Chains A and B, each alone.
Chain A
Amino acid sequence: MTLVLLDTNAYLRLAKRITPLLGVKFGQKDYTLTILKQVEDEVHKNPRLRFLYPWFDDPVFAKERIITRVRLNKNEKEQLNAVTSVLRQHVLSNVDTYTSQGRSPPSPTDCFILAFGQIRPAIVATDDLGMHQLAKDFSIPIWHGHELLKKMLSAKCINNDLVREIYDAIETNNDLPRTWKEAKHTVFKKIFGPAA
């Protein structure tokens, strides 16, 4: 099994339309999606996210998250704390890199998610460009959300109609990341056709 860890935005972009999403094995490497409790906390603490994603606390979604939640032992927590501090310090030591070319400096929670990817290990799925740069600097495996979508499509977990529906919903929410925009007519050329 290869664990794939979704960050908050990646989860919110996919969870409503792909059900079940978490804990389901797919692809040759038995990819299995999961999220951390921190994601749950982030949504609960954020009225804007709760307003935009009112389905988040529906029992079906809440139950799926609880059942598939990864639990850490004491050693792993110590490792996670140590690795998070190194990642965060790297961001602060290279702050110019992390505030250019559309990147934002990964927050302590972002660093925690990447640290988890390093410890377990897991592939982190996020559209945050700062996190992608950080993962690259430390050779931590990472996917863009659209790459995850493509893997799920290839594994026939989802079909073309659902990809179209997900794109439509994200565009309607004015939430389409630049990387998804670029992938629309390249990675998903068969569905959306070439760029006009």
Chain B
Amino acid sequence: MRKAINTDAIRAALSKHGLTQKELANALGVSSQAVTNWLKGNDFPRPATLLKLASTLRLTFEQMVQTDNVDRPVIAFRKKGNAKTTNAHVAKAEEIGILLKPLVPYLTEQQALRTLITSPSIDYNKLKVAVAQTRSRLGIGEQAVLEYEHLIGEFKNSGAVLIPVLWGAKQRHENALHIRLPKEDITFIFLNLDTRLEDFKFWMAHELAHVYTPDLSGTTQGEDFADAFSGTLLFPRACAEPTYHEAIQQASAEGVIRVLLTHANEHMVSLNTVFQQIKLFAKSSNLVALEIDERTIHAVRNNNQGPLISEALFDPMPPEPKRFIAACEHAFQSDFFIALKRMIHESGIGASYVQQVLDTPMQDAFALYEELRH
């Protein structure tokens, strides 16, 4: 990472504190020439001097230093509802990404040949082609139910490492976090298992779309594509078309809901996913829309919430560390904890590392750490 002093920020801070360059040099115990060299970008302060500079001018690293951002982790969130992503969320996720870098050599070798969607589009007809090809590669027809195993295997084949986490059903800003390390050419996907069963598959498919389109990671375009791809992959046109025709024949809203719910349950996706796909199908085929609004769909959905994935996997909750780690390895085919175990044994890192990369309470991190250490 190339670093240079942010000249404008330093000059503004000098002015704010009524200091000259010479007075600053004296306060830091360096020559005036040294300060001039920093401001011209010819040199960069040593760590202890940089610390004094921050303390003297009361500037944070981010305010004081400009970096070239090469190798910076690329972040994408699967946010909760209307949660607002702040700079602090992004900074924290980037820190996790940086801390994951030393773990990469401990992971099993990743696939070099991967699937990419080179011209991602949210146009329904183009999505239909991308989805058909994806399903074909997974060995399932367009009307078949896409199982979790299909998605999990595809992550593995695409150089992505799944990290299941228990971040709580309400406390977090995001339900999934995607961290791509460009230099290491690897993607880590944190999946919050404290997520409703019917939503979980959608989020997994959403994350898979990010893996297929690494160049769009962290952009609004990437998020829009991931949402569109996910819905269509889980409930393609071949499913939407017969469901539409069945639903449109219903005499009442209750009848429509019943049809949509039957298909949602069959595919283990949310009522909203089925509704949205039918809407897209109807629009693209110039057919009349279903006479039901989104508010009704959301009301029904909220009254029919399934269990959390974590509850379904680990009853009773919370799981013992051993069980949680085993589920990650077997159910999610993730070698994250295997790599972490190797790292703990070989480099001697402590529970604090586990706490920081999993962003979990210290007591949970310590329990996992103890399990991995022995």
Residues of A within 8 A of B (CB): 42, 45-49, 75, 78-79, 81-83, 85-90, 92-93, 95-96, 99-107, 110, 118-119, 128, 130, 137-139
Contact = CB atoms under 8 A, between A and B. Distances in A.
B60 A81 contact: yes
B269 interface: no
A49 B62 CA distance: 34
Interface stretch (B288-296, B330-338, B359-367): B359-367
Nearest to B354: A104
A130 B101 CA distance: 17
Main DSSP-derived SS at the A contact region = helix
Contacts of A95: 98-99, 101-102
B347 A86 contact: no
B101 A86 contact: no
B147 to A, nearest CB: 37
Contacts of A130: 350, 352
Tell me if B's interface is mostly helix, strand, loop or mixed: helix
A99 B347 contact: yes
30 contacts: A46-B361, A48-B366, A49-B362, A49-B363, A78-B58, A82-B57, A82-B60, A83-B51, A85-B54, A85-B60, A86-B51, A86-B61, A89-B62, A92-B95, A92-B98, A93-B1, A96-B102, A99-B347, A99-B349, A101-B347, A102-B348, A103-B349, A104-B349, A104-B351, A105-B353, A105-B356, A118-B51, A119-B55, A137-B48, A138-B51
A99 B58 contact: no
Given A95-B102, A107-B356, A85 B361 contact: no
B353 A48 contact: no
A51 B351 CA distance: 17
Nearest to B92: A108
B76 interface: no
Given A47-B363, A138-B47, A104 B350 contact: yes
A102 B62 CA distance: 29
A83 B52 CA distance: 8
A130 B349 CA distance: 9
B61 A104 contact: no
A89 B101 contact: no
Given A79-B58, A138-B48, 16 more contacts: A48-B362, A82-B54, A82-B55, A82-B64, A85-B61, A86-B54, A87-B51, A95-B98, A96-B102, A100-B348, A102-B349, A104-B352, A105-B352, A107-B356, A128-B352, A138-B51
Nearest to B346: A100
Contacts of B50: 86
Contacts, number: 102
B355 interface: yes
A100 B61 contact: no
Interface of B: 1, 47-48, 50-51, 54-55, 57-62, 64-65, 95, 98-99, 101-102, 343, 347-353, 355-356, 361-363, 366-367
B44 to A, nearest CB: 12
Contacts of A78: 58
B55 A99 contact: no
Contact of A137 (B1, B47, B98, B353): B47
B98 A82 contact: no
B363 A48 contact: yes
A49 B361 CA distance: 12
Most B Cβ at <10 Å: residue of A83, A90, A103, A130:
A83
Contacts of B348: 100-103
A46 B99 contact: no
Nearest to A90: B47
A130 B367 CA distance: 21
Contacts of A138: 47-48, 51
Contacts of A92: 95, 98-99
Nearest to B366: A48
Contacts of B64: 82, 86
B47 A100 contact: no
A184 to B, nearest CB: 20
Contacts of A119: 55
A100 to B, nearest CB: 5
Contacts of B363: 46-49
Nearest to B97: A92
A87 B52 CA distance: 11
A89 B99 CA distance: 11
A116 B359 CA distance: 24
A15 B55 CA distance: 32
Nearest to B356: A107
A89 B351 CA distance: 20
